[in-house]
Structure 1
Amino acid sequence: MIIAIICTAIINLNTGFLSLNLQDFFQNSENGQIAEIRTNRVLVMLLAGISIPTSGFLMQEYFQNPLAGPDILGITSVASLSVAFYIFFSHSILLPEFLQNSFLSMSAIIGSLLLMLVLLSMSGKFQDKSYLIIFGFLVSAFAGAIVSLLQFYAENQSLKNYILWSFGANNMVSRSQIYVLSILVFIGLFFCFKTIKPLIGNSLGSSYAQSLGVNLKHLKILIIVTASLLSASITAFLGPILFIGIIVPHFCRLIYNPSKLWQQWILNMFLGMLMMLIFSITAEKSQIPLNVISSVFGIPVILMMLLRQNKV
């Protein structure tokens, strides 16, 4: 899988309207800017491939539901709502382009963090995990309704900007934004590292987990913070990338023993990176938005999962 990731990364670097030489990536040539854009595209796909499946893996293991994804708590929807507010109400403010992109990403992160605080405060009131899922569904529906209302009254240019962001603009992430995204992702991975051992006990049942010394309340808070940080950071810089957080953990459980969570986590990151690089190549070749490609691929897979569960 590592060899496949390296090969798809090299193919990704050579995918575009122009053919680049090796010196374009290491020297100041006339195509140096294009080479930098492609390098940034590969880096951000690797980070997305790590973050989104990890978030989905945590959600599915904690809720014991193979259809749970990073957006199950409404984090992605609220991030989209925050970006919609920024795009639709900041068109009259004249800002340089690099500041506009920074504020756009910041608005998505701030909105997601606010919802994360709400989820943390509500999680203590919901003893049953299913209530937290229902709360996330209600938040997603409410955020979607407000976004639709904003789109209805938006000006043409603002509406176009929001739609372009929602498609998953993997070519618009700058190097400085990648640095910020990397920090957020590595913080999320550190928190994820702290959750794996308690999750192993939690998978055996709540009473057994408590007998092993697992603090279930602390685990719930850690899961919410980690999943929120990983999914919100990618949504902020890339837009909502749908279904990857559901289908990658599903494939990983088919490939390897699903009870070995440490190996499952590592496998999720590797398979996620490979899949995102393949989607990026497909998006560049076909000129179809990344989010559309992930949806076209993800929807049939989830449908097969539902049919398979129904047979069982």
Structure 2
Amino acid sequence: MAEEQATRRTEQVDRLGAEWETHRPAVFGVAYRLLGSVADAEDVAQDVWLRAAAADLAEVDDLRAWLVTVAARRSYDILKSARVRQETYVGPWLPEPLLTGPDASESVLVDESVSTAMLLVMENLSPPERVAFVLHDVFGFEFARIAEVLEVSGAAARQLASRARRRVAKANETTPQGSKAERRRLLAAFRTAYEEGDLAGLVRLLDPDAVYVTDGGGKVSAARKLIHGGRRIAEVMVRVGRQLRPDRIELVEVGGEPALVFHRHGRVYSVDTVQISDGLITAYRRVINPDKLRHL
């Protein structure tokens, strides 16, 4: 009997190992969307693998759904405690950048739900709303399964997802993103003006009421308050550019959207994304917290 159980166990682990790489992007993807952190999402994926390797999966018909459900439960627990940590975060908080272009180290189910703008919108949802929205609207889970994750009724899960959807839609209406092509064009123009120290050129690309957000996390020198006004932002950029002198500036894809990656002394210094409206940059967001850039 013991030998038979050991054989079944080996077969199960072999099966899991064969299918894991197929399902890992979904496991990582749900965790990243819920937590906004590559490091935390990697930890969740590792936890899910260990949990799956130790579980009896003989009766599991849909392995992907089972794995994503376990990841969602673990992420939900982390998400609730993360709110407390973010309250003590030094300066503005931005999601940890995830490389999603052709050279991405992690193949994640890329869509607008991993963009900086969407993750910031979801930050304003309660943890249960965020879980319900991601599992239903992004991963297509039924409300009965979402209810199990949140330990609520099916009706409550449906209500949470509906409320989250309305809040996300309202936020997207008031903060239009513009097309990916337009953002890429503006970022390319911004890079050129930045490299040339062209103050007037930067001002032309920025909305007069634009906002500049810098996430240094207290680890490096960074503005701890938002900087408002296109001209003011351009002046700061020109001054910082003279001091920074980056090795190179790449136009890449991060979180499914165009981004600028600044390299300095052979390392990634910052990852910058923008929000645009009517052909102008309305929000310029820069992550320079080194803890959030190590994986790049």
The alignment's TM-score, normalised by the length of structure 1, stands at 0.27
The alignment's TM-score, normalised by the length of structure 2, stands at 0.29
- The one of the two structures with greater contact order (alpha-carbon pairs below 8 A, sep at least 6) is 1
Greater Rg over alpha carbons, structure: 2
More helix per residue = 1
